Structure 1
Amino acid sequence: MAEHSSFNAVNNVEVVCGMAIPPIKTKVQGPAATIPQQDVIDIIDEAIKFFRPNLLFKNYEIKGPGDVFIIYMTVFITQCLRKIANEEKEANALRMLIEMARLPVPKPNEAGFFMRGIAKDPTSNAEGEKFSAYLKQAKEELVNRLIKVLYKDGVKSWDHKFWVGLSKKNFMNLKF
């Protein structure tokens, strides 16, 4: 059974373009509200935790705006793993992924956005800008956390090959 975001049911979470944009634990500059407690599970923790079980599904029932974020990040993690599949050193992998995370995020109504039909078109330019800025910040924070899972003491962890092995799958046949 697929894993779904706990942020689907949270009533006070802002929704932009059909995607939840809850507060996150981050030091990365951006529009997201920050959570000061490090022991709280945020939506980025969920995206990393749910990556491996959810990747096994070709179909994924979207139960709310949190799931839209999980879909985006699952596809992004797949791209990250493909990019660093053969990289031995943590510093090089982090540099490559930060570079990738900082690329502009297209709005749902722009060409090049891979989740057309899943995320909703922005109702205003400000909504579209907030959507793009939040995802850019979230991607950079996700990269910082993912590197800690994949590398230990500056080199690949033994778990690295299992994560990278999953990068050959396309979640819901979506490509970043």
Structure 2
Amino acid sequence: MPAYHSALNEEPDVRQVGNMSILPIKSKFRGPAPQAEPSQADIIDETLDLFRANSLFRNFEIKGPADRLLIVIILFVSDCLAKIGTSRTVPSKIEATKSLNTLAVDNFPVPGDATFALNSHYAPPGSRADADYLRTYLVQVRQELAARLVEILYADGSGKPSKWWMSFQKRRFMSRSLAT
């Protein structure tokens, strides 16, 4: 059974940095990301929908530039779940929000950096300006994803994260992690 790929691979007129798409997102955070239509699903919605199914796969065939972005975001979701799961006590929704927002804005490698885990599958940005643009775009995507993930994890109102979602904290998509 093949992994699930992004439906946004065939989007026309999408900017690319290296060989990764810069897709529009619905965001309440400031950043360079283009604004998506509020009625349509964006790459973050797609990632949250496909995360649990794709995290079971060890291999993933990249079919387009949106798949490269999907991989980076799925790996970040794994890191978020691991961060929440390794807390000494079960974090409240507010504590989880603070923790994941800090994780989202922490310094992280982008394609082309020596410490980026998947450099063999990604082209480096063409210039320093493109690398900076990609980093700020990914910070905005990570912040928005962290906010939406907390809403999903604590949706039942019990004050504890969803056991169903937390059961994926030790699963590693493609046996990789973005954490250094």
Q: TM-score range by the shorter chain?
A: over 0.9
Matches within 5 A, 1:27-66: 27-35=28-36, 37-66=37-66
- 2 CA distance for matches of 1:132 and 1:21? 11
Q: Deviations over 1:30-84 (max 9, x none)?
A: 110112x432100111111110010111000100011101110111101100111
Secondary structure of the residue aligned to 1:58 is coil
Q: Structure 1, residues 110-131: CA drift from partner, whole Å, max 9, x if none? A: 1221221122111111111111
Shift in Å, 1:18: 1.0
Task: Please give the alpha-carbon distance, in whole angstroms, between the structure 1 residues aligned to 2:77 and 2:154.
Answer: 15
> What is the aligned partner in structure 1 of residue 98 from structure 2?
95
One-letter identity of the residue aligned with 1:65? P
Residue aligning to 2:78: 78
**Equivalent residue pairs, number:** 173
- Quick one: distance in 2 between partners of 1:125 and 1:154? 46
Q: How does 1:99-118 map to 2 (within 5 A)?
A: 99-118=102-121
Q: Could you tell me the TM-score, scaled by structure 1's length?
A: 0.92
- Partner residue of 1:148 out of 142, 147, 151: 151
Q: Kindly provide the CA deviation profile for residues 127-164 of structure 1, in whole angstroms up to 9, marking residues without a partner as x.
A: 1111111111100000011111100337125xx11211
Other-structure match for 1:7: 8
Q: What does residue 163 of structure 1 align with?
A: 165
1:24 matched to 2:25? The reply is yes
Matches within 5 A, 1:122-141: 122-141=125-144
Q: What residue identity is the alignment partner of 2:160?
A: K
In structure 1, C-alpha distance between the alignment counterparts of 2:163 and 2:18, rounded to whole Å = 35
Residues 23 and 32 in structure 1, CA contact (< 8 A), matched pair in contact too: yes
Contact 2:24 2:34 in 1 (8 A): yes
Q: Which runs of 5+ in 2 are unaligned?
A: none
Contact 2:31 2:137 in 1 (8 A): yes
Q: Identical aligned pairs, as a percentage?
A: 36
Residue 117 of structure 2 aligns to a residue whose secondary structure is coil
CA RMSD of aligned residues (A): 1.4
Where structure 1 has 5 or more consecutive residues not aligned to the other structure, the ranges are: none
User: C-alpha separation between the residues in 1 aligned to 2:51 and 2:131?
Assistant: 26
The answer on whether the counterparts of 2:6 and 2:67 sit within 8 Å (CA) in structure 1 is yes
Q: Is the 8 A contact 1:17 1:131 kept in 2?
A: no
CA distance in 1, matches of 2:41, 2:32: 19
Check whether the contact 1:107–1:129 (CA below 8 A) recurs between aligned residues: no
